[in-house]
Amino acid sequence: MKPLLKIEDLKMHFPVKGGVFLRAMGACKAVDGVSLTVNEGETVGLVGESGCGKSTLAKATARLLDPTAGRIEFEGTDITHLRRRELNPVRREMQMIFQDPAESLNPRHSVRDIVEEPLVIQKRGSRAERGKRVAELLEKVGLSESAGNRYPFEFSGGQRQRIGIARALALNPKLILCDEPVSALDVSVQSQVLNLLMELQEDFGLAYLFIAHDLAVVKHVSDRVAIMYLGKIVELAGADEIYENPKHAYTKALISAIPVADPSLDRDRRLLEGDVPSPIDPPQGCAFGHRMGHPKWEASVGMDLALREVSPGHWVQPCPCCTDES
Amino acid sequence: MSEDSRQLLEVTDLSSSFDTEAGELVAVDDVDFKVDRGRTLGIVGESGCGKSVSALSLIRLLPQPMGKVRSGEVWFDGRDLQKVDRDEMHEIRGNDISMIFQEPMTALNPVHTIGRQLTEAIHLHQDVSPEEALEQAIEMLKRVRIPAPEIRVGEYPHQLSGGMRQRVMIAMALINRPKLLIADEPTTALDVTVQAQILALIDELQQEMGMAVILITHDLGVIAENCDDVVVMYGGRVVEWTSTRELFANPLHAYTKGLLRSIPRLDRERKTKLPTIPGNVPSLQEMPSGCRFSTRSEVEHDDESIRTRPDFKEVSPGHWVETCPYCYEG
């Protein structure tokens, strides 16, 4: 497998200003040293609770934000510091789908204009050729050609997400960053959109970085899954492996918190205490061990917490408080 | 206990509508259900199915002046809530029946402290001194496990996290020990780990106080783990009503079956095609008058079943279903 996207030790810090003169008081470490690879044609799921930095990671990867440190490599080229114009060819290959299609589609543009826009920006084909391509794309995502004349508000949530997908596909990208693409949809519509995404992957050999908080959804569509907690990845493994054999205490807690649609199961729940802590001045060492008040947490302060491979393809943060492996 | 004394709430033929530019839209259409004392009833369905409107109708909180209850009876603890006067309804709301909502930030007043909002609820229904009220408020915050409640009472909602705010909402709803708590998607805006905490908390307080709960959600997992009985709604109507165990073991209506099939499960083989329900939920204007699910069913319906409303029948003890000949095999 060829690596398509390689993120190395990426950091995205935001200054927190306060006081009378709005001086920088500290930093919000939204993404704090993440390394992740997405191979061609592969789906990597990224799971974590709100505020863990998963959306920020996607935005920094698409270079909608300028990373504080680290390196992003796409198809072998370093894109970390490319300027706007230099990013144009990269954006052809890397597109994004957002959670709320109602907010990410311009309400004043017809569906045709929305789907055509990337082609116009990248100066692709004549007007007639673009029209043909738009019709083709709409059909591909399961909308009728006449949908092109209508406006986003005329569609339901699921259909709007299809429009967002058509727009992302317009330039034949190799990678689509999906930020919570089905979280706003009803169950019966959610599975339609997931099926569409899987179908398109098969047809076009797309790779996805699939961000969601719903583990069951992520497991279903992903080849590998990364679990993120407070700006860091704490565990990364094959999708089946991570559910069958979770190593990090946070992964275990997340899996145990999912409600299962089977009333005959009497489950042994481990309830987590407390909320996800703020990424502003996060605790030192293992953040999850700190939240749990684990007696061995102190030992993780100052340790090198880079992921370690515990079995082929299964990587875990080697802190003494959350894993038995170290 | 006789059947009557066990029963806390009985809703019969409840219909509600909204006046809109497009005319009168019926959002809840002849809905029936019951809740026994101390039990949990789940109402499940997709957005726009009428689950929240049903709840708002029964406590007479429909947005005014557009919303109105057209017909039906709501018997709560020996009184018909549709008949009692406004003052009596005020007395019942917050005292006998409380409600919590999906987004606590919009339900809490941002310019008042947590303590002031909690004591307001106490003063409305109890004759106590301000000091006593504050003491009760702190005690209640302790019970919903808010750390340092003595400090939190002096804080404002924006100073709390989402999970903490939902705890404050629960504290406020339960402070007068209601007989019925209506929770409308109480955990939808929260993370899974916090959702698990909040649901466990509601469950624990229910055991302690013996109240009944109506839990409105779109998540069948939440239903399976927290409810005794379930009402499945589609297009403003109840299509199925039975115990949770029975519903999951033996779903009878095509919509229920479709919903249960389409949830992604951890034990399903990865990257396989998920079963779906075709199409989208039609808008209220486009709903057929007969079987509402006919526009999305895989089985083609005849004109008769699209036009005429199917009967809602008890087909086996305690298992009610809408008996459209194409959606239910009797």
The answer as to whether B180 is a domain residue is: yes
Is the distance from CB of A79 to CB of A63 less than 8 angstroms? yes
For residue B1, pLDDT over 60 is answered with: no
What pLDDT, in 10s, does the model give residues A5-15? 999 999 999 98
Q: How many CB pairs under 8 A join A and B?
A: 136
The answer as to whether B76 is a domain residue is: yes
In the DSSP assignment, the letter for residue A260 is -
Average pLDDT estimate for A296-314: 91
Tell which wins on pLDDT, A64 or A156: A64
Tell which wins on pLDDT, B252 or A19: B252
Residue to mutate among A186, A256, A265, A267, with most B CBs inside 10 A, is: A186
* Predicted pLDDT at A165: 96
> Looking at the partner chain, which of B163, B264, B271 has a beta carbon nearest the beta carbon of A275?
B163
Q: Which residues of chain A neighbour B45 with C-beta distances below 8 Å?
A: none
The answer as to whether B12 is a domain residue is: no
**Do the bridges between strand A308-311 and strand A314-316 make them parallel or antiparallel, or are there none, so unpaired?**
antiparallel
Contact B218 A186 (CB under 8 A): yes
The answer as to whether B295 is a domain residue is: yes
> Looking at the partner chain, which of B46, B266, B274 has a beta carbon nearest the beta carbon of A243?
B266
Average pLDDT estimate for A304-326: 88
Give the count of alpha carbons within 13 A of B44, CB side only.
Answer: 32
Contact B223 A261 (CB under 8 A): yes
**Chain A CA closest to residue B48:** A186
Min distance B272 CA to chain A CA atoms (Å): 8
Q: Which of residues 265-324 of A touch B (CB under 8 A)?
A: 265, 267, 269, 271-273, 275-276
Tell which wins on pLDDT, B125 or B2: B125
Q: Which residues of chain A neighbour B193 with C-beta distances below 8 Å?
A: 49, 253-254, 257, 272, 276
**Chain A CA closest to residue B193:** A257
Give whole-number Cα distances, A242 to A221, B31, B150, in Å. Answer: 14, 44, 42
- Go through B70-92 and write b for each residue having 16 or more CB atoms within 10 A of its CB, e for each that does not: eebebbbeeeebbebeeeebeeb
Contact B196 A216 (CB under 8 A): no
Contact B221 A189 (CB under 8 A): no
Q: Which residues of chain A neighbour B268 with C-beta distances below 8 Å?
A: 220
Is the distance from CB of B223 to CB of B217 less than 8 angstroms? yes
The answer as to whether B327 is a domain residue is: no
Q: Which residues of chain B neighbour A189 with C-beta distances below 8 Å?
A: 46, 280
A230 token code pair: 């407070």
**Range of the structural domain that residue B287 is part of:** 22-264+273-322
Residue to mutate among A50, A187, A278, with most B CBs inside 10 A, is: A187
3-state secondary structure (DSSP) of residue A12: strand
For residue B191, pLDDT over 50 is answered with: yes
What pLDDT, in 10s, does the model give residues A211-258? 998 888 999 999 999 999 999 999 999 999 999 999 999 999 999 888
Q: Which of residues 202-241 of A touch B (CB under 8 A)?
A: 213-217, 219-223, 239-240
What pLDDT, in 10s, does the model give residues A175-223? 999 999 998 888 888 999 999 999 999 999 999 999 998 888 999 999 9
Contact B220 A191 (CB under 8 A): no
Sole residue written with tokens 């009692």: B84
How remote is the C-alpha of B12 from its chain's centroid?
16
Contact A187 B218 (CB under 8 A): yes
What pLDDT, in 10s, does the model give residues B73-103? 999 999 999 999 999 999 999 899 999 988 7
What pLDDT, in 10s, does the model give residues B9-52? 999 999 999 998 888 999 999 999 999 999 999 999 988 899 99
SS3 content of chain A, % helix, strand, coil (to 5): 35, 25, 40
Structural domain total, chain B: 1
* Predicted pLDDT at B103: 79
Tell which wins on pLDDT, A323 or B310: B310
Q: Which residues of chain A neighbour B221 with C-beta distances below 8 Å?
A: 258-261
The answer as to whether B3 is a domain residue is: no
Min distance B153 CA to chain A CA atoms (Å): 18
Return the minimum-mean-pLDDT range out of A189-203, A214-228, A292-306, B220-234: A292-306
The CATH number of residue B195's host domain is 3.40.50.300
The answer as to whether B6 is a domain residue is: no
Residue to mutate among A182, A201, A275, with most B CBs inside 10 A, is: A275
Contact B192 A254 (CB under 8 A): yes
**Chain A CA closest to residue B146:** A274
Q: Which of residues 170-209 of A touch B (CB under 8 A)?
A: 186-192, 194-195, 198
* Predicted pLDDT at A325: 52
Is the distance from CB of B259 to CB of B42 less than 8 angstroms? no
Of the candidates A313, A30, A305, A311, the residue with the CA atom closest to the CA atom of residue A322: A305
Burial class of A260 by CB neighbour count within 10 A (0 to 12, 13 to 18, 19+): middle
For residue B45, count other CB atoms closer than 10 A to its CB.
27
Give whole-number Cα distances, A32 to A231, A281, B253, B292, in Å. Answer: 5, 11, 49, 51
Min distance B185 CA to chain A CA atoms (Å): 13
* Predicted pLDDT at A326: 44
Residue to mutate among B102, B255, B274, with most A CBs inside 10 A, is: B274
Average pLDDT estimate for A256-272: 81
Most distant CA atoms of chain A, gap in Å: 67
ipTM of the complex: 0.85
Contact A271 B277 (CB under 8 A): no
A132 token code pair: 């043909």
For residue A141, pLDDT over 70 is answered with: yes
Q: If pLDDT is split at 50, 70 and 90, which confidence band does B2 have?
A: low
Calculate what percentage of chain B has a pLDDT beyond 90: 77
Q: Does A135 touch chain B (CB under 8 A)?
A: no
Q: If pLDDT is split at 50, 70 and 90, which confidence band does B4 have?
A: low
Q: Does A102 touch chain B (CB under 8 A)?
A: no
For residue A96, pLDDT over 80 is answered with: yes
For residue A269, pLDDT over 80 is answered with: no
> To which H or E segment does residue A15 belong?
strand A3-18
Give bridge partners of residue A208 from the DSSP assignment.
A43, A176
**Chain A CA closest to residue B269:** A220
Q: Which residues of chain A neighbour B280 with C-beta distances below 8 Å?
A: 156, 158-159, 189
Of the candidates B9, B49, B53, the residue with the CA atom closest to the CA atom of residue B33: B9
**Chain A CA closest to residue B247:** A263
The answer as to whether B187 is a domain residue is: yes
Q: Which residues of chain B neighbour A222 with C-beta distances below 8 Å?
A: 270
For residue A267, pLDDT over 80 is answered with: no
DSSP string spanning B113-133? -HHHHHHHHHHHH----HHHH
Min distance A280 CA to chain B CA atoms (Å): 14
SS3 content of chain B, % helix, strand, coil (to 5): 35, 25, 40
Average pLDDT estimate for A274-297: 84
Q: What is the dihedral of CA A227, A232, A237, A239, to 10 degrees?
A: 20
**Chain B CA closest to residue A52:** B191
